[in-house]
Chains A and B, each alone.
Chain A
Amino acid sequence: MANNPAPRLSALHLDDLAIVVLTTPSGSDPADPHPELDEDTRARLRARLKLIGRHDWPSSLREDAQLRRGYTLRQCFRLVTALMLLDAHIPPSIAIPIARSNEVLLLRIIAARLADPDAISSPHDMLAVVPLGQFWEWLDPVGWREAEPYRIRSLARSELASLWSQDVGLGIAGQRLVLDVGGSAQTLWRWIRARRLLPESTVGAFRDEVERMHAEPEYQQFEERSKRR
C-alpha cells in the first residue's frame, strides 16, 4: 500500500470541490476553475463538510487510515452524492444513510457516465430517483424497514414519464427527487482535469474498481447510526 498509494485529492481543494459541484449545472464545464468566494462563505461550507464528516462520510480514519493524505476519486464521488442530497434540503442524518446504502448503485451510474467525460447529455443517461416522503419510521418501524425507504431507483432520462408508474417499482406514494449524479461527476472530473489535481489514469482505475464490484447488491441497508456526533 505504501509503495503504490492511490492518488488522492488534497484536502486543500475540498471546499473548491464543494463549490464547483454545488454551483455548476450537471454535465457542463465549470465556469471558473478557481471559484472566487470570500472567507466567510468558505468557512460556512467547511462547517457543512465537517458535519458530513461526523457521519463518517465519505470515510473515516478507522475505515481508511490514509484519509489524512486526501480523498481518493471514489471518496470524492461519495461526497458528491451527499452534497447533492444536502442541496435538496435533506438533513445529513437522512442524506448520509441514503447515500451510504445506495453507494454501489450511485457509483455504477457515475462510472457509466465517466466512460466519456466530455459527452453531452443523452436520453440514455441513467438518473437517480430518490422517493421521499415515506419516512414513517416512528409509526411503524417494522413495516417501514421492509418498505426499504432509503432505496434509490435508477431511470433513463427518456423514461422520466414513468416516474410514478408501477412497472419500474415506483408505484409507492410520496414525492420524487431526481438527481443527475452522473452529470455532476462529469463536471467534477472536468474540473479536476482542468486543474490537473489528479493524474488522468485515476478515472480508468475508478471504473475498473466499480467493474470489480459487479457482484455486490445495489442496495445494502445501512443499519447503525453513526457514533460520533
Chain B
Amino acid sequence: MPTSYLSDPLDDLLQRTGLSPTRVDEALERLARDWQPTVLKPGHAYLQLIRERTGINVVGIQRRYRRLLVEIEQFEDKHCRWRYHERSRSDCVFACVDNIPHTIGDALPGRPLRALIVPTPAIGAVMIDSLSRDPEGWLTLAVTPEWRSF
C-alpha cells in the first residue's frame, strides 16, 4: 500500500480526539466507493467528535493524492476569528484578524507561527513563509506544516 500523509496539526487533533488517521482514511475510502467527493463535510460524526473533544471547529477533511488536508475555521459569536486551510502540500494558509504593527509583522517570515499566536500547540509550530494584508483588515500568512506518513 502506498504511503499516505497528514500534517502535524491534523495529527495532533486526531490524537487528542482518539481517532487514528487510518480510520479517517477509511471513511473517505467509503465515500470514494460510493462515487461521492472524498471530503468529510460539517455534520460528519468525526468532525463533531473533534469539536466536542478539542473545541476546534474543523469544517472539512479532504483527501488529495493520498494526502489528508484539513480546514479549520474558528468562530466566536458568529465572527470568524482565525482560519487554517491546507489546500495542497505546498499551499497552506493561516488567516486572522489583523491588529499587528508592521514592525512586528515584517519580521515574521521564517519564524514559527507561535511567535505571533498559538491557536493550538501543533498549529503554533508551523513555519511562516510570507504574509500579506487584506484591505479588509485581515492578515493572511502562507505557512508550511510538517508532514508525516501513516
Contacts and interface: CB of A to CB of B under 8 A. Distances in A.
A38 interface: yes
Chain A binding surface SS class:
loop
A43 B36 contact: yes
Interface string A5-36: 00000000000000000000000010001111
A196 B80 contact: yes
Contacts of A43: 36
Nearest to A32: B42
B133 to A, nearest CB: 13
Given A29-B78, A42-B41, A201 B59 contact: no
B43 A37 contact: yes
Interface residues of A, number: 16
A194 to B, nearest CB: 6
Nearest to A42: B41
B42 A196 contact: no
Contacts, number: 37
A14 B90 CA distance: 25
B107 to A, nearest CB: 26
A174 to B, nearest CB: 41
Contact of A196 (B78, B83, B135): B83
B85 to A, nearest CB: 11
A199 interface: yes
A196 B43 contact: no
Nearest to A190: B78
Given A29-B78, A194-B78, A199-B136, A34 B36 contact: no
B38 to A, nearest CB: 11
A36 B43 contact: yes
Contacts of A201: 135
28 contacts: A29-B78, A33-B75, A34-B42, A34-B57, A34-B59, A34-B73, A35-B42, A35-B43, A36-B42, A36-B43, A37-B43, A39-B31, A39-B36, A39-B41, A42-B41, A43-B36, A194-B78, A194-B79, A195-B73, A195-B80, A196-B80, A196-B95, A196-B138, A199-B134, A199-B135, A199-B136, A200-B135, A200-B136
Interface of B: 31, 34, 36, 41-43, 57, 59, 73, 75, 78-80, 83, 95, 134-136, 138
Interface of A: 29, 33-39, 42-43, 194-196, 199-201
